[in-house]
Structure 1
Amino acid sequence: MAKHFNGKRILVTGGCQGIGYGIATELWKQGANVVALSNQKESLQKLHKEYPSIEVVCVDLRDWAKTKAAVDALGIFDGLVNNAGIAKTEPFLECTPEYFDETITVNTKAVVNVSQIVAKKMIQNKIKGSIVNISSQASKAALRDHTAYCASKAAVDSITRVMALELGQFGIRTNTVNPTVVMTDLGRAVWAEQSKKQAMLSKIPLGRFGEVSEVVNAVLFLLSEQASMISGVHLAVDGGFLAL
């Protein structure tokens, strides 16, 4: 396999489970020096045991100050994937301020916090880097019982466009990948109930959910020099969901 990321140092938040695990390990296979950041200590330890050369960092993204200190101590990166996120379901009329705040903190504020630190060091070291933020089809289409989640991902899309506008002068590209339901272990469990599954599948023209590898491929493309003129876009990996 060609090693497109040979020698590149890349930070992946939420990099020890699901899509993040897929991104981190595929980057490693393609020659990158990967740092995986998460608050899931056991999953990080498991990842490090499987891939000893992947550096792991345990920090809770909900804590702005501790996250800033941890990321700052990691040094310089050529690329960043803001993948960490949470998603709980609450009907609009029952959406609580506590969950709304937590969702915005993890899914949105953490993107700003981590990206500020990484981008500043890219600029200081004249690195023409790439930042990919994992968003969702929920940023552009309403999903029942997903008030906080939809709001958080719509904000990620908007923030990404501003990042592309302001960081472009330094040669830093910023994009999002916006997946549909993805068949991680969690995704398979959440969407196992047939009526719920079929209701969502009926809205996807390709008639199936996404696989982790399909999201990983999109992320690695946007990180790579193959996407050297792409910035400020929202790449849907949704089987046509947003085309309806």
Structure 2
Amino acid sequence: MDKYFEGKRILVTGGCQGIGKGTVLELWRFGAKVVALSQQADNLETLKREYPSVEIACVDLRDWNKTRQVVDSLGNFDGLVNCAGFINNEPFIECSPEAFDDTMNVNVKAILNVSQIVAKKMIENGIKGSIVNISSQVSKAAIKDHLAYAASKGAVDSMTRIMALELGPHGIRVNAINPTVIMTELGRRAWADPVKAQAFLSKIPLGRFGEVQEAVNAIVFLLSDKASMINGVQLPVDGGFLAT
């Protein structure tokens, strides 16, 4: 698999923390030419200092036109990982229009925006590329207080299927992963309460949350030629949560 990525250009949104950063570093280790995109300028600069060969791009993905300008300026890509995400958990009755709009703008519209630009250039240049969208298990199963987030990830799953259908004839594969709770820094803080964590863990047959590398492994597999006949899937990375 590692040889496949040598010299490939891959764009990773949300690429300076959590699953996104883990994906950037794994692809870098495999010899890819990686561009990490984020609105977090300080974290991007830190990443650049630590890994000088990683390219960085700073933009707020909620800004449709600025995002188009920045992504277009980055050139052609062989792969894209739409990893940037936003979550603001509120129950259905209390879900505000502001939280709903922010969630949709980052988790859904940004994928549409970035993917349109990248895929168009793939088609124009005959690049048989791969796109991986980061969804969630909440697109498949109801979880309390996740109304806006679940709605956004349901949209991601639907978009993934349509993108796969329309881009497949150009040799471009589009897939998604649907992780359970992943132990990023944010995940560890959010699930630090053992009572809260145990209630959720009881629904996961493997009895634990996922680690960043486990999500990264699935992403890298779907990007690679090892997944050359996999297109339009939503792959659970959830320890069996959705099987119960």
Q: TM tier, shorter chain?
A: over 0.9
**2:40 aligned with 1:71, yes or no?**
no
One-letter amino acid matched to 2:51:
Y
Q: Tell me, in whole angstroms, the C-alpha distance in 2 between the residues paired with 1:134 and 1:210.
A: 14
One-letter amino acid matched to 1:202:
S
**Equivalent position SS for 1:11:** strand
1:132-152 CA-to-partner distances (Å, cap 9, x unmatched) read: 000000111111101000000
Aligned ranges for residues 99-138 of structure 1 at < 5 Å? 99-138=99-138
Q: Tell me, in whole angstroms, the C-alpha distance in 2 between the residues paired with 1:50 and 1:242.
A: 38
* Deviation of the 1:173 alpha carbon: 0.1
Structure 1 runs (4+) greater than 6 angstroms displaced: none
Partner of 1:227: 227
- TM-score, normalization by structure 2: 0.99
Aligned ranges for residues 2-151 of structure 1 at < 5 Å? 2-151=2-151
Number of equivalences: 244
**Equivalent position SS for 2:4:** coil
Aligned ranges for residues 151-230 of structure 1 at < 5 Å? 151-230=151-230
Equivalent pair of 1:3/1:29 in contact (CA under 8 Å)? no
1:109-156 CA-to-partner distances (Å, cap 9, x unmatched) read: 000000000000000000000000000001111111010000000000
Equivalent pair of 1:15/1:84 in contact (CA under 8 Å)? yes
* Deviation of the 1:237 alpha carbon: 0.3
One-letter amino acid matched to 2:81:
V
> Tell me, which stretches of 5 or more residues in structure 1 are unaligned?
none
* Deviation of the 1:201 alpha carbon: 0.1
Q: Tell me, in whole angstroms, the C-alpha distance in 2 between the residues paired with 1:209 and 1:3.
A: 31
- TM-score, normalization by structure 1: 0.99
1:2–1:117 distance in 2 versus 1, CA, 3 Å: closer
One-letter amino acid matched to 2:35:
V
**Equivalent position SS for 2:37:** strand
1:184-230 CA-to-partner distances (Å, cap 9, x unmatched) read: 11100100011110111011000000000000000000000000000
Q: Tell me, in whole angstroms, the C-alpha distance in 2 between the residues paired with 1:37 and 1:69.
A: 13
Q: Tell me, in whole angstroms, the C-alpha distance in 2 between the residues paired with 1:43 and 1:144.
A: 31
One-letter amino acid matched to 2:61:
L
* Deviation of the 1:3 alpha carbon: 3.7
Q: Tell me, in whole angstroms, the C-alpha distance in 2 between the residues paired with 1:3 and 1:142.
A: 40
* Deviation of the 1:2 alpha carbon: 4.0
One-letter amino acid matched to 2:233:
V
One-letter amino acid matched to 1:156:
V
> Tell me, which stretches of 5 or more residues in structure 2 are unaligned?
none
One-letter amino acid matched to 2:194:
Q
